[in-house]
Amino acid sequence: MINPIPEKAINFAVYYEGEDLLGAAEGELPKLEAMTETVKGAGVAGEFDSVTLGHFGSMTLSLTWRNTTDSFVRLSPHKTHELYLYSAHQDYDAGLGEYIVNSIVLFVKVIPKTSTIGKLVVAGMTDTQTEFEVLYLKLEINGKERIEVDKLNYIYKVDGVDYLAAVRAALGKA
């Protein structure tokens, strides 16, 4: 009997344009927060926040570097950078008594917003950090595309369903 219990990320790697390994120490992944508008008035008993279909507020990705490195400098120009974040996640299958490794891949197109050179500490890391605005993201789990958000091309897909297809058609972008 399969009974997976999600446990943790085993490790991760960040690649620049799919090829060059970047030495990130930690990553804070984007938050998908829908844009909303409060609806109230006749026909509504009170008010509620209505999501705007497929539209999201600012999405950010932060990478923290162990030290001030060439990777930090390479990602500083205000232009689009393509990053691949690969992560191996561990589940424990309580039914089989074994560990399962899942592959998580996040592909993003980003523009740097904030570059923090960090701090100087004797025998310590600088905690240099880059914060990016995310314009595009695609999340794959075990090789299956699960979420795609493309703000500039009106795409919002979840498990293969494109929730902005009708919006693109209405705007003459189909």
DSSP the chain: ---EEEEEEEEEEEEETTTEEE-EEEEE-----EEEEEEESTT-SSEEEEEEEEEE---EEEEEESS--HHHHHT-SSS-EEEEEEEEEEEEETTTTEEEEEEEEEEEEEEEEEEE-----TTS---EEEEEEEEEEEEEETTEEEEEEETTTTEEEETTEETTHHHHHHTT--
Mean pLDDT of the chain: 94
Taking only the tens place, the pLDDT of each residue in 100-127 is: 999 999 999 999 999 999 999 999 889 9
Number of domains comprising the chain: 1
Q: Flag the least confident range among 62-66, 108-112, 153-157.
A: 62-66
Instruction: Check residue 1 and give its pLDDT.
Output: 61
Give the pLDDT band of residue 46 (cuts 50, 70, 90). very high
Instruction: Check residue 171 and give its pLDDT.
Output: 95
Please state, for a pLDDT cut of 70, what percent of the chain lies above it. 99
Instruction: Check residue 166 and give its pLDDT.
Output: 96
- Rounded to a whole number of angstroms, the CA Rg of the chain reads 20
d(CA 40, CA 54): 22
Give the pLDDT band of residue 20 (cuts 50, 70, 90). confident
Tell me the whole-structure pTM to 2 decimals.
0.91
Per the structure, the complete domain to which residue 142 belongs is given by 4-170
One-letter identity of residue 164: L
48-74 average pLDDT score: 94
The answer, yes or no, to whether residue 23 has pLDDT greater than 90, is no
Instruction: Check residue 24 and give its pLDDT.
Output: 80
